[in-house]
Amino acid sequence: MSEFVKELTPQLIKWRREFHQYPELGFMEYVTTYKLAKELQQLGFQIHIGREAMDGVSRLGMPDEAQLAEQEKKALEAGVPEDWLAHMQGGFTGVVAEWDTGKSGDHFGFRFDIDALPIQEAAEETHLPSQENFSSDNAQTMHACGHDGHMTIGLGVASYIAAHHEQLEGKFTLLFQPAEEGGRGAKAMVEKGWLDDVDYFYSGHIGIKPLPVGHVAATVNGFLASAKFNVSFHGASSHAGMHPELGKNALLAAAAAATNLYAIPRHSDGVTRINVGKMTAGSGRNIIPEDAVLEVETRGETQKINSYMLTEAKRVVQAAALMHDVACEIDEVGVTEGITCDPELIDSIQSACTSAGFVKKVLPAADVSGSEDASFMINRVQQHGGKATYMLFGTELGHPHHHPAFDFQEEVLPVAVETFIRIIEGGASIE
């Protein structure tokens, strides 16, 4: 299989650079979804897009109608056919690809996230995309977390399944998931039931922590449950000099909330986090600010601890609004759960990769932080009796994830593809 991966590597690099050059934000990955679906269709997979792929009610943090309409227009201009766009219209992006060999065997599930971030990509000469002329063509949008690599890996895995399906057994479901950033998209796919009869589920990430290329972590520890919410404060505008007493200052309410959120007592049972990432308010120095918006997130080592942080955060926000006599609305726009990987998979993954050409070392586990909405998929598989894990694929990290100059070593792509191929070949099942 190493020879297959070696021959595929130039195509992996080509796919990665094409995806990197046209990044799209969550639930607006119209061009990306079309390109993925066409490739998968040509390979022979049964594909599902639009409302077939995800449950609309379970989506969180949706872009507004104007944003969706603008990106749909751009997708048409970029060559997405109208009949394809009709299926995705309204933010129904992402694709599910199925291959049933017709032979008795395990059902394998894989997840690959596809969305980008609202970041303006760096133009410095030391940045590989700048050197090789595949930097983002979309202003204020960038693949700054490796998802361009993840969906490339997914196409590599799909290429193997298509080429070797006669020798394989069982069923394969590949989920190319939108809107991972902010914990918004996975639950919508889970609620369509794609994973309810999966025996083994695998997802993973390029990087997160720096490891040499060729090193793979079979499991991770440390992902936190999280909640994302926006707060809108509504007060009353007035002249700041002539009638300040008639104003109700939404900016001050937002500022009071922002500072006091960080004063929430930490929980004795485990790790907690809180962050106010954005505040927008005011229109001029002599105008009492009528409106203000905060973007906030909480995290906790367990769902119970995160629930504590979220409850306290809402209390602080409402108290700040009351203190400044303004109204407030809280809109929950994202959520993730905790992850516990199945340790039984460690030995089998290590065994599967023993004779691999690109994989040099399989570590039992890696300690991480942050959050992942693949948690919904992992937890659903485990709730239905299956086994699941989240893996890391090593690369040097010259800049952290979500940085304008983020990049990864493209040599990690064949490593990840080979890892999944070895798993599929049967070495990662539990005897």
> Phi, psi (5° rounding) for residue 40?
-65, -40
Q: Which residues contact 257 (CB under 8 A, 6 or more apart)?
A: 231, 233, 276, 294, 316, 317, 320, 321
**CB contact burial 333-353 (16+ within 10 A = b; e otherwise):** bbbbbbbbbbeebbebbbebb
What are the start-end ranges of the H helices in 44-146? 65-77, 82-88, 128-131
> What gap in Å lies between CA 204 and CA 391, rounded to an integer?
4
Residue identified by tokens 């509504």 is: 234
Amino acid at residue number 58: S
* Pairwise CA distance, residues 17 & 324, whole Å: 50
* Other C-beta atoms lying within 10 Å of the C-beta of residue 305: 22
Please list the active-site residues: 113, 181
Under a CB-based contact definition with an 8 Å cutoff, are residues 151 and 34 in contact? no
* Sequence-ordered strand ranges (E) for 143-243: 171-177, 200-206, 215-217, 220-221, 225-234
Q: How many residues in the chain? A: 431
Neighbours of 241 (CB within 10 A): 7
Distance CA 243, CA 32 (A): 53
Give just the sign of the alpha carbon dihedral 40, 17, 394, 183.
Answer: negative
Q: Report the distance separating Cα 195 and Cα 381, nearest Å.
A: 6
Phi, psi of 207 (to 5 degrees): 80, -125
Question: Following CA atoms 366, 191, 16, 119 in sequence, which dihedral angle do they give, to the nearest 10 degrees?
Answer: -80
Contact 401, 146 (CB under 8 A): yes
